[in-house]
C-alpha cells in the first residue's frame, strides 16, 4: 500500500517564487489536510478538505492555497514564497465516516527552504 | 494559543526502564486523544489512542492514561527499547470534527 505520497521530498525556493507541493492518497479517504512542522511549534494545520470540491482554512493558512478536484489529490500551492515558509510540510488523510474517531495517516514530508 | 502542550522537550531513559511522556490540554471539548511517533526524515505514525469515555488504553508495551479532570494524558512505554527513540507527539480532537491539534513533541532517547 502506498498510503499517502508527497512530492517532492526536498525543495529550495527563492523568495517570491511559487510552487506546488503534491499529495496523493490511495485509501479513498474523504478527509485530507496539510500541516507544517516548525521547531518548538509542533504540527500546525494549514488547510484541510472534507471531500472533493470542499476546502477550508486551518490555523495558519496565509500564503497558501489548496484545491481538491479529486478524492485522491490535495495539492498545496505557495503563491509567493517567503523565508517564513521554510518548514517541513506534512500531508495527512483519514476516513471521515460519520465523524467516527480515527487516526490520521501522514506522508513522508516535504522539507522546504526559502532563501 | 497552544491547546495541546508537551512541556518536556526531551527525555532520556535507560533500556528496560519505563518511559513516561506527558501531555496537557486546555480545551474541555476534546474527547479523542492520540499519540504519534516520528523518526527523523519520516512522517508521524500512529501509535495509540484513547477516547474520553475511558481512562486507560493498552497496546503491548504502550499504555495511555487519561485524566479528564486534570486535562492530562500520559504515555507509558514498558520496557523501553532503543528502537523507541523518536519524537512523540500527542494530539487531540473533538468528536464532531476531524481537525487534530498537536503538541510540540517530546524527543525520547532510550540508552542501551
pLDDT tens track for B11-63: 999 999 999 999 999 999 999 999 999 999 899 999 999 999 999 999 999 99
CB-closest option in A43, A94, A108 to B98: A94
Burial class (CB in 10 A: 0-12, 13-18, 19+), B25: buried
User: Count of residues for chain B?
Assistant: 112
B31-67 CB burial, b ≥16 within 10 A, e <16: bbbbbbbbeeeebbebbbbbebeeeeeeeeebbbbbe
pLDDT tens for each residue of A45-100: 999 998 999 999 999 999 999 999 999 999 999 999 999 999 999 999 988 765 56
- Using a CB–CB cutoff of 8 Å, tell me whether A55 touches chain B: no
For the record, the C-alpha cell of A40 comes out as 518548538
Q: Please indicate whether, in this complex, the C-beta atoms of B98 and A107 are within 8 angstroms of each other.
A: no
Residue of A21, A38, A42, A91 to mutate, interface with B, max B Cβ within 10 Å: A42
Of B51, B95, B102, the CB nearest to A42: B102
Inter-chain touch B102–A40, beta carbons under 8 Å = no
Amino acid at each position: 500500500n502506498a498510503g499517502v505520497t508527497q512530492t517532492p521530498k526536498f525543495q529550495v525556493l527563492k523568495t517570491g517564487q511559487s510552487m506546488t507541493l503534491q499529495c496523493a492518497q490511495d485509501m479513498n479517504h474523504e478527509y485530507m489536510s496539510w500541516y507544517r512542522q516548525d521547531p518548538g511549534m509542533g504540527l500546525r494545520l494549514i488547510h484541510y478538505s472534507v471531500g472533493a470540491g470542499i476546502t477550508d482554512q486551518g490555523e495558519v493558512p496565509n500564503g497558501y492555497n489548496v484545491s481538491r478536484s479529486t478524492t485522491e489529490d490535495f495539492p498545496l500551492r505557495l503563491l509567493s514564497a517567503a523565508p517564513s515558509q521554510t518548514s517541513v510540510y506534512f500531508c495527512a488523510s483519514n476516513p471521515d465516516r460519520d465523524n467516527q474517531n480515527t487516526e490520521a495517516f501522514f506522508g513522508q514530508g516535504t522539507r522546504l527552504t526559502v532563501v | 494559543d497552544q491547546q495541546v502542550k508537551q512541556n518536556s522537550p526531551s527525555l532520556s531513559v535507560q533500556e528496560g526502564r519505563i518511559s513516561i511522556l506527558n501531555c496537557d490540554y486546555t480545551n474541555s471539548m476534546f474527547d479523542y486523544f492520540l499519540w504519534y511517533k516520528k523518526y527523523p526524515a519520516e512522517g508521524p505514525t500512529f501509535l495509540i489512542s484513547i477516547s474520553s469515555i475511558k481512562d486507560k488504553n493498552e497496546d503491548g508495551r504502550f499504555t495511555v492514561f487519561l485524566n479528564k479532570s486534570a486535562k492530562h494524558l500520559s504515555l507509558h512505554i514498558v520496557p523501553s527499547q532503543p528502537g523507541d527513540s523518536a519524537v512523540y507527539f500527542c494530539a487531540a480532537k473533538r468528536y464532531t470534527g476531524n481537525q487534530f491539534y498537536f503538541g510540540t513533541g517530546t524527543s525520547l532517547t532510550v540508552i542501551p
